Amino acid sequence: MTNKLDLNAIRKRAEAVTEGPWKVFPYQMSGTYEVTVDNLEVSIASEIDYQADAEFIASARTDVVELIAEVERLRQALWEITVYPSEDALEIAEEALEHGR
């Protein structure tokens, strides 16, 4: 990857969206889907043709935040290995990788 991710900008966008959880609501008559906020009459996206697309959009609200946290955790582990090279570096790397499995 040539461009560094701007995690602060991504986090700000994720925090600015409507609070979740977001849910998928199927329209039986049209065969389309809508992504709504749980227990509120707020539509995030509507007239989505494919259920998988709707589920992806609904999951993005929480997935993006979790991915940011994972990238930050891995960056921290990499920093520790780089700044404090030692025999423990391999152990730190293995722990970082194991956490993500």
Question: What are the sequence ranges of the domains in the chain?
Answer: 7-99
Rounded mean pLDDT of 81-90?
A: 73
pTM of the model: 0.73
| Residue 1, pLDDT above cutoff 60 | no
Q: How far is CA 88 from CA 41, 76, 78, 83, 94, in A?
A: 52, 15, 12, 12, 10
- What region does 31 belong to: left with phi over 0, alpha with psi -120 to 50, or beta? left
Residues 6+ apart with CB under 8 A from 10: 64, 68
